[in-house]
Amino acid sequence: MYYRKVKAYIEEFEMIREGDQVIAGVSGGGDSMAMLSCLRQYREEMDFSLKVVHVHHGIRGEEADRDAALVKQVCSDWQIPCQILRYDVPDLAKGWKVGTEEAGRRVRQEAFTLASKGCTARVRIALAHNQDDLAETVVHNLCRGTGIRGLSAMRPVSDPIIRPVLCLKRQQILEYLKEAGILYGQDSTNLSEEYTRNRIRHRILPLLQEQINPKASAHMAETAQLLAAAGDYLFAQGECLLKQYASFKEGAYYLQEDFFRQESALVPYGLLTAFYQVSGRQQDFTSLHVKDIQKLVSRQVGRQVQLPYGMRAVRTYQGISLLPGSQHEDGKQTEEQLEEYRKGWVIPIPGSVKCPLGMVSARVFSYEGQKIEENKYTKWLDYDTIYSSLSVRTRSPGDYLVIDQKGNRKKLNRCFIDDKIPREKREQLPLIAAGEEILWIIGGRISEKHKITQTTVRVIELQYQGGTIHE
């Protein structure tokens, strides 16, 4: 019964097409094991490839080892390719100076990118969020004041992500697992009420369902879907305002006073878009932050407002400057911020990443002699000549560019000098890199090693949005 519901849900939202490569994120918990079982069954009806990625975060000791072993064994029994990736998330969190949750999100993104490497088909990344997870997110974000995007954050499809079991309640998943005789692991951290989400799970949602409406989670899911459509429209209009009345340059947004005189219903969505792009994150921004910026417009030049992730809004003669991290008002970054920029952000393939350096999107397609894209902010490269994951970052010691077909290299700094890139811009110039090898100086030249040739089979298209380069 529950499989038929999941199948109908997959087909309603066209999550999977014939020939797709589906990469399932499987933790070993009940939700992900149920999702994997449904995908396995659906594969018998639809011709697509299925593989599993399991991320060991290096946090829960023997319990995590047990989950990894369970996933490996089940995948072996079901003849599904499985990739186990291990990370020391606590150590990475310290190095990146972020919380363990953010570090975990980054490594999972990298894991899916690595798993997608070499895929010629359209990639679908399957996550096992259920209807109660969605309801918990809605309640959590409603209390935090995150607005329409927070209330519609968990969607059935968010290309390339799909959520096949979002239509099932947690209890329904447990019933499915019992009926099918599927083993699964228990994450002990889900029992602790130290975490806000767990308190919502164990106290608030049961109260809503028992004393208000037994279908509370289902109604929240329906409402979230409606809000998602409304949010997409409002954010699109807010972005139009930004293009007209603001500029994004070197990681900062500069908003003209006229921006704040536009349609009052749209200005907040433009501001939120600016927050996301400057910070590279979509969490922790609320309506209160929007109101603080709107109030700042009427205050004296030089007054400031502190924002999440170290961001600042500064009142200027022209309007409002949104500055990332510890960036100074003159546009210069601190050494701490420069180090973060040097480490960079992994580019999912296919997919996109938003960060303070801008937004980079990637897609892969077969090369059949098409005219090569000649655009300052769009480049085509030979995908099969790239053997490492890609990131967008700023320069780092050891960087080089391959300058001819023989494989000769030139130090990146020498390239900057030859291309007459001003010294003050070199630390902030976004680059596409594979390790120390630079594939594209965004706005400028690309590596000769990865140019399209007559032997090219697959092309990776890289698109950059986010500011003026070399100007």
Q: Which two tokens stand for residue 366?
A: 């077969």
Phi-psi region of 284 (alpha: psi -120 to 50; beta: other; left: phi over 0): left
Cβ partners under 8 Å of residue 404, min gap 6: 448
Q: What is the pLDDT along the chain (471 residues), one digit of tens a residue?
A: 899 999 999 999 999 999 999 999 999 999 999 999 999 999 999 999 999 999 998 888 888 899 999 999 999 999 999 999 988 888 888 777 777 877 888 888 888 888 887 787 889 999 999 999 999 888 888 887 777 877 887 899 988 899 999 999 999 999 999 999 999 988 777 766 666 778 888 888 899 989 999 999 889 888 988 998 999 999 999 999 999 999 988 778 899 999 999 999 999 999 999 998 888 777 778 888 999 999 999 999 889 888 887 788 999 988 999 988 755 444 455 566 667 788 888 888 888 887 878 889 898 888 888 888 777 889 999 998 998 889 999 998 899 999 988 889 999 989 988 888 887 678 778 999 998 999 999 988 999 999 999 899 999 999 987 644 434
pLDDT of 469 reads 43
- Which stretches within 156-286 are classed as H helix? 170-180, 196-199, 205-211, 216-245, 267-279
Cα 250 to Cα 245, 362, 377, 470: the distances in Å are 17, 21, 15, 11
pTM here is 0.66
Q: Which of 15, 51, 4 is nearest to 156 (CA)?
A: 15
Buried/exposed 283-295: b ≥16 CB within 10 Å, e otherwise: bebbeebbeebee
pLDDT of 337 reads 65
Torsion 289-294-299-302 (CA) sign: positive
Q: What is the CA radius of gyration of the chain?
A: 24
All domains of the chain, ordered by start, with CATH?
A: 2-220 (3.40.50.620), 224-323 (3.30.465.60), 341-465 (no CATH)
pLDDT of 353 reads 85
Cβ partners under 8 Å of residue 389, min gap 6: 110, 113, 114, 117, 346, 347, 434
Torsion 90-93-99-103 (CA) sign: negative
| Alpha-carbon gap, residue 338 to 86, rounded angstroms | 28
| Alpha-carbon gap, residue 4 to 106, rounded angstroms | 34
pLDDT of 280 reads 77
∠ CA 113-117-78, nearest 5°, is: 90
